[in-house]
């Protein structure tokens, strides 16, 4: 096999994810690195359904279904109980963008601020897909959802969740996507190695029905999100040290990403809006490049070791 | 308020303990199913021999050179030779180049490496002798390939050749810097070790006739090549040295340079070889060709090599007459221009009326070769004075087959090999042994629109290296190293052939593909999203409509 992805599976088939579900694949690939000494906490999200209805479930690790706003705090509690029992089990809060950017944000911020020893993973499909594609604060500017129809598409840019997490100065935060499996695997391993504090992974996860595209375009869509710098792959240590982990070979226009998906029809129909988005993407990318270079300079300076 | 001190104090909660596997048969959602489908890669389809290229590349990659050699020799017995001299039709069809604009995989260089790597392996000795005797006349690539396959089928094979050593064009036509004689000798030794008998110095027509052969042998395959030089048809023709004869003489080690300044008339592969040999021997060489580089029939690579060697080309130059004066040859040439395309599709050279005189020490003709058909009796000839031949090389006499340059005119080594193999098959068919040959099922070719080049690494193409100068006839290039071959194979998309890269396994959202040295799809759960097919680099999987799948 050409890939460094482990062969062991910790997710049974028979999940209820839609055809081509990026969230399901995200879970499958992350679990390969987590192994079976782990517990997942699921707030309300697609995965509440995907894991299967009672009395069956798909994951080969214990799963706690919990209320929408509580993923981070329930994970914190479970981790505390495990620690009291002397167990080293990895506790993962696995939430969608709703349970992370919107409804779960308070508990997430609290856990991050206390630097709880948990891994919080957001699989971000950029709207409330499970309930019928309503916009969330992760929905990008100019996007169609059922609550932001073509005539009045999403008016605000996507919330900068990585910036928020970095501002909490947690030991490790990273973006990743299943379209780059080796990068994703490495980041999960890095997160596991950084145990003792809060770790955050932001996974862009395609949703073929919500993104209005063919199921077999799911990987290509996520790949283009990276190639066009709409979703750069990077990691942030201690909220300060930025490192871009994948450098696109050539500048690919954002329209290459948008044109694959029906949800971006309003954006493609409005040149001014498209240009605004294009500039936002560029600005954000150059911000990251600057942070990356700044981090390199600090690391090579004599007092670079004393970041804190 | 109750206290929660004991586990019994907690309320009951529902717990799921069984696997989704037990009841959620998500395969029922599917309207299309992915299936592994071995199809033809464009390289294999473009190869006259139809070599299954991605499959043998995988064998090499996974450390099975013997298996790769067996797969290759089932279609072409001489990878060491074609790995050096083939114009690689395969590489021109590569989907990687078509889809991404990157250079094609250097298949010929990989083939050459495999040929060298397996040079010590004996060819298979037939498990059963048929007790039949078959004669092959001519020991060029067509004759040798026919002998190889006929012997493999268990016949007693005798190869006749008019010269004192076998090998034909491989020995006497292709210069040593492209194909060292030692390699031809080693390949012949391997054929001898299979039990093939070589009888040299026996010319068809003068020393023995087709009738003699038919009296002794169950079948005869004639592949005596196209060795008769076409005349240029100009005044002073007798002053020209025939190019093929010159190549043969240098092949025998009889090097004789007529002087420092030489000219070669013609634009085909023989012209390129003659020009390069002269140049490598130290002469200043000018090729005189009546059309331009675009219309030249020589293989492009041969032309480029000639230019690299320092051969000069005079385009649109038609020799009209040659005469001798003060020990030099004076060639009168007329300048040409290009008119309308002729029946070959190339633009026809038209005279301008402007003539010049050029001086050389020696002038060589290489304007084409034809076959010598005199050994064939009239009963085998068609009304147009040519040999009457079926596609498989059968003549009108059921015991006599023919092929190679004899049938096609000057062509490539691989096309001759194919002719030899095809005739061997036809002879086996005639002798009632067609069960020894697998059926060639025409299979669909994977198009460049279907492949996904995302996952093949982007490093530059690696091929043979240019050798350091070690004399005019020392081999001009060097075989790639083991590491380079493996590195180059990584670039192959493996069109239409699963090379177990694991991409489908990695990207299956539902984990329904298990890995047992290759993908195994669990149709009880596969939802038919099609991601495995879309991401497969070589499109070795296809989606089949469920209605077309028979439910037994």
Closest CA to B290 of B339, B244, B237: B339
| Per-residue pLDDT tens digits for B114-169 | 999 999 999 998 989 999 999 999 999 999 999 999 999 999 999 999 999 999 99
Residue A200 and residue A191: Cα distance in Å, rounded?
Answer: 8
Phi, psi of B338 (to 5 degrees): -100, 125
Confidence of residue A171 (pLDDT cuts 50, 70, 90): very high
Mean of all residue pLDDT scores within chain A:
96
* pLDDT of residue A6 exceeding 80: yes
Co-location of B248 and B339 in the same domain? yes
- How many of the other CB atoms lie within 10 Å of CB of B39? 19
The pLDDT value recorded for residue B234 is 92
Look at residue B8 and tell me if it is in a domain: no
Q: Are residues B362 and B410 in the same domain?
A: no
> How confident is the model at residue A300, as a pLDDT?
82
- Record: contact A215-B530, CB cut-off 8 A: yes
Distance of alpha carbon A69 from alpha carbon A105, whole angstroms: 7
- In degrees and rounded to multiples of 5, residue A116 shows phi and psi of -65, 150
pLDDT of residue A308: 44
Mapped to the 3 state alphabet, what secondary structure does B405-459 carry? HHHHCCCCHHHHHHHHHHHHHHHHHHCCCHHHCCCCCCCCECCCCCCCHHHCCCC
Q: Mean pLDDT throughout A63-76?
A: 97
Of B16, B502, B505, the CB nearest to A56: B16
The answer on pLDDT for B259 being more than 70 is yes
pLDDT of residue B256: 81
- DSSP, res A178: T
Best mutation target among B23, B489, B509 (most A Cβ atoms within 10 Å) is B509
Residue B35: CB partners within 8 Å, gap ≥ 6? B521, B541, B542, B543, B544
Do B234 and B356 fall into the same domain?
yes
CA distance B473 to chain A (A): 42
CATH number for the domain including B310? 3.50.50.60
Looking at the partner chain, which of B505, B507, B529 has a beta carbon nearest the beta carbon of A19?
A: B529
Residue B263's pLDDT is 97
- pLDDT tens-place string over residues B347-367: 999 999 999 999 999 999 999
**Which CATH number belongs to the domain containing residue B448 in this structure?**
1.10.1060.10
Is A210 touching B (CB cutoff 8 A)? no
Quote the pLDDT of residue A305. Answer: 53
Average pLDDT over residues A251-268: 96
Decide if pLDDT at A307 tops 70.
Answer: no
Instruction: Please check whether residue B342 is in contact with residue B348, taking contact to mean a CB–CB distance below 8 angstroms.
Output: yes
Instruction: Supply A71's token pair.
Output: 């993923």
Is the same domain home to B282 and B358?
yes
Q: Are residues B243 and B353 in the same domain?
A: yes
Going through A87-237 in order, the beta strands assigned E by DSSP cover: 90-95, 119-124, 172-177, 199-204, 234-237
Label residue A40 by pLDDT band (50, 70, 90).
very high
How far apart are the CA of B475 and the nearest CA of chain A, in angstroms?
A: 36
Judgement on whether residues B332 and B378 belong to the same structural domain of the protein: no
B275: in domain = yes
Percent of chain A with pLDDT over 70: 98
Shortest CB distance from A28 goes to which of B511, B529, B530? B511
Tokens 């981070």 belong to: A72
The three-class DSSP label of residue B381 is: strand
**B503 vs A13: CB contact, 8 Å cut-off?**
no
User: Quick check: A11 contacting B, CB < 8 Å?
Assistant: yes
Q: Looking at residues A166-175, what average pLDDT do you find?
A: 98
Q: Is residue B449 part of a domain?
A: yes
Residue B390 CB contacts under 8 Å (≥ 6 apart), including other chains = B426
Same domain, B356 and B255: yes
B48 — pLDDT class (breaks 50, 70, 90): very high
For B232-251, how does the pLDDT look when each residue is reduced to its tens digit (9 = 90+)?
Answer: 889 999 999 999 999 999 98
The shortest C-alpha distance from A207 to chain B (Å) reads 12
**Is any Cβ of chain A less than 8 angstroms from the Cβ of B382?**
no
In a domain, B335, yes or no: yes
Instruction: For residues B348 and B381, state if they share a domain.
Output: no
Structural domain containing residue B191: 133-227+371-432
Is B59 part of any domain? yes
Provide the percentage of residues in chain B whose pLDDT is more than 70. 99
- For residue A308, give the H/E element and its range: none
Whether residues B34 and B46 share a domain: the answer is no
Q: Does A4 lie at the interface with B, CB-CB under 8 angstroms?
A: no
- Residue B510 to residue A218, Cβ atoms within 8 A: no
Give Cβ neighbours of residue B441 (< 8 Å, ≥ 6 apart): none
Q: What is the mean pLDDT of residues B518-535?
A: 97
Q: What is the CATH number of the domain that holds B544?
A: 3.30.70.20
Give residue-wise pLDDT tens across range B268-324: 999 999 999 999 999 999 999 999 999 999 999 999 999 999 999 999 999 999 999
Does residue B2 lie within any of the structural domains? no
- Fold that domain A22-300 belongs to in CATH: Rossmann fold (3.40.50)
- List b or e across B332-370, with b for residues whose CB sees 16 or more CB atoms inside 10 angstroms: bbbbbebeeeeeeeebbbeeeeeeeebebbbbbbbbbbe
My answer on whether B344 and B469 are in the same domain is no
* Cβ contact, residue pair B455, A56, below 8 Å: no
Which residues, including other chains, have CB under 8 Å from residue B454's CB and lie 6 or more apart? A223, B535, B537
Q: For residue B3, is it within any domain? A: no
Quick one: DSSP state of residue A215? G
Q: CB-based contacts of B82: which residues, under 8 Å, 6+ apart? A: B76, B108, B111, B115, B413, B414, B417
Q: Which of the four pLDDT bands, split at 50, 70 and 90, describes residue A303?
A: low
Q: Are B86 and B413 in contact (CB under 8 A)?
A: yes
* DSSP codes of every residue in B174-230: S-TTTS-HHHHHHHHHHHHHTT-EEEES--BTTTB-HHHHHHH-SEEEE-----EEP
Q: How confident is the model at residue A277 (pLDDT cuts 50, 70, 90)?
A: very high
What does residue A76 show for φ and ψ, rounded to 5 degrees? -60, -45
pLDDT of residue B1: 54
Average pLDDT over residues A113-142: 98
Instruction: List chain B residues with CB under 8 Å of A58.
Output: 19-20
Res A51: pLDDT: 97
Residue A250's pLDDT band (boundaries 50, 70, 90)? Answer: confident
Overall domain count for chain B: 4
Preferred mutation among B20, B504, B538 to probe A, highest tally of A CBs within 10 A:
B20
**Of residues B350, B333, B332, the one with CA closest to residue B341:** B350
Same domain for B255 and B321, yes or no, is yes
Same domain, B235 and B359: yes
Q: Tell me, yes or no, if A12 comes closer than 8 A to chain B by beta carbon.
A: yes
| Dihedral sign for Cα atoms in the order B59, B64, B69, B75 | negative
Q: What is the mean pLDDT of residues A189-205?
A: 97
Closest CA in chain A for residue B509: A25
């Amino acid at each position: 096999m050409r890939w460094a992805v482990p062969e062991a599976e910790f997710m049974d088939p028979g999940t209820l994810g839609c055809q081509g579900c990026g969230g399901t694949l995200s879970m499958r690939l992350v679990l390969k690195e987590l192994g079976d000494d782990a517990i997942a906490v699921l707030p309300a999200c697609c995965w509440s359904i995907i894991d299967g209805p009672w009395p069956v479930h798909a994951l080969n690790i214990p799963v706690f279904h919990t209320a929408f706003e509580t993923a981070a705090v329930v994970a914190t509690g479970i981790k505390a109980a495990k620690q009291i029992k002397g167990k080293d089990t990895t506790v993962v809060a696995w939430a969608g963008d709703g349970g992370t950017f919107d409804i779960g944000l308070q508990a997430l911020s609290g856990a991050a601020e206390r630097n709880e020893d948990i891994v919080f993973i957001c699989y971000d499909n950029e709207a409330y897909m499970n309930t019928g594609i309503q916009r969330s604060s992760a929905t990008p500017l100019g996007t169609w959802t059922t609550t932001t129809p073509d005539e009045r598409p999403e008016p605000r840019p996507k919330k900068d969740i990585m910036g928020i997490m970095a501002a909490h100065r947690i030991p490790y935060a990273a973006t990743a996507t299943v379209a780059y499996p080796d990068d994703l695997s490495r980041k999960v391993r890095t997160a596991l190695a950084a145990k003792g504090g809060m770790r955050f992974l932001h996974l862009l996860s395609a949703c073929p029905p919500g993104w209005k595209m063919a199921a077999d375009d799911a990987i290509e869509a996520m790949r283009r999100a990276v190639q066009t710098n709409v979703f750069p792959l990077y990691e942030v240590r201690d909220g300060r040290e930025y490192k871009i982990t994948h450098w696109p070979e050539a500048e690919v226009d954002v329209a290459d990403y948008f044109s694959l998906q029906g949800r971006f029809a309003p954006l493609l129909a409005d040149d001014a809006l498209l240009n605004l988005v294009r500039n936002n993407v560029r600005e954000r990318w150059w911000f990251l490049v600057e942070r990356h270079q700044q981090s390199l300079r600090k690391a090579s300076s004599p007092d670079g070791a004393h970041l804190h | 308020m109750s206290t929660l001190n004991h586990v019994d104090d907690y309320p009951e909660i529902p717990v799921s303990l069984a696997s989704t596997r037990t009841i959620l048969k998500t395969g029922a959602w599917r309207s299309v199913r992915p299936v592994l489908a071995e199809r033809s890669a464009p390289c294999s389809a473009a190869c006259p021999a139809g070599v299954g290229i991605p499959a043998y590349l995988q064998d090499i990659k996974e450390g099975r050179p013997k298996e790769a050699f067996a797969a290759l020799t089932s279609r072409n017995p001489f990878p060491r030779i074609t790995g050096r001299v083939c114009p690689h039709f395969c590489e021109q069809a590569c989907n990687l180049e078509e889809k991404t604009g990157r250079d094609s995989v250097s298949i010929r260089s990989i083939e050459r490496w495999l040929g060298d790597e397996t040079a010590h392996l004996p060819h298979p000795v037939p498990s059963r002798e048929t007790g039949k005797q078959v004669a092959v006349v001519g020991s060029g690539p067509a004759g040798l390939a026919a002998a190889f396959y006929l012997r493999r089928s268990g016949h007693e094979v005798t190869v006749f050749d008019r010269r004192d050593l076998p090998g034909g064009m491989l020995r006497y036509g292709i210069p040593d810097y492209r194909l060292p004689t030692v390699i031809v000798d080693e390949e012949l030794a391997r054929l001898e070790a299979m039990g093939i008998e070589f009888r040299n110095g026996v010319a068809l027509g003068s020393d023995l006739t087709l009738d003699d052969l038919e009296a002794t042998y169950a079948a005869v395959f004639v592949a005596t090549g196209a060795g008769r030089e076409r005349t240029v048809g100009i005044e002073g023709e007798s002053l020209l040295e025939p190019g093929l004869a010159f190549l043969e003489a240098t092949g025998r080690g009889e090097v004789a340079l007529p002087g420092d300044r030489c000219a070669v008339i013609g634009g085909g592969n023989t012209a390129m070889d003659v020009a390069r040999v002269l140049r490598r021997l130290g002469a200043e060489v000018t090729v005189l060709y009546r059309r331009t580089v675009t219309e030249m029939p020589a293989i492009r690579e041969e032309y480029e090599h000639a230019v690299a060697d320092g051969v000069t080309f005079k385009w649109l130059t038609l020799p009209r007459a040659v005469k001798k004066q003060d020990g030099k040859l004076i060639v009168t040439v007329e300048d040409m221009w290009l008119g309308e395309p002729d029946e070959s599709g190339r633009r026809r050279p038209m005279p301008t009326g402007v003539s010049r005189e050029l001086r050389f020490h020696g002038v060589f003709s290489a304007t084409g070769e034809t076959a010598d058909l005199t050994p064939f009796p009239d009963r085998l000839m068609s009304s147009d004075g040519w040999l009457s031949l079926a596609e498989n090389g059968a003549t009108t006499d059921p015991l006599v087959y023919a092929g190679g340059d004899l049938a096609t005119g000057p062509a490539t080594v691989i096309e001759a090999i194919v002719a030899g193999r095809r005739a061997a098959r036809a002879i086996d068919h005639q002798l009632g042994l067609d069960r020894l040959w697998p059926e060639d099922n025409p299979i669909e070719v994977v198009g460049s629109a279907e492949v996904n080049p995302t996952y093949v690494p982007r490093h530059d193409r690696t091929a043979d290296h240019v050798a350091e100068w070690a004399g005019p006839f020392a081999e001009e290039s060097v075989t790639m190293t083991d590491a380079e071959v493996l590195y180059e194979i990584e670039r192959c998309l493996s069109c239409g052939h699963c090379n177990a890269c694991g991409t489908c396994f990695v990207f299956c959202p539902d984990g329904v593909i298990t890995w047992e040295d290759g993908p195994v799809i669990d149709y009880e759960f596969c939802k038919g999203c099609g991601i495995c097919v879309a991401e497969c680099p070589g499109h070795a999987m296809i989606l089949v409509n469920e209605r077309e799948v028979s439910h037994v």
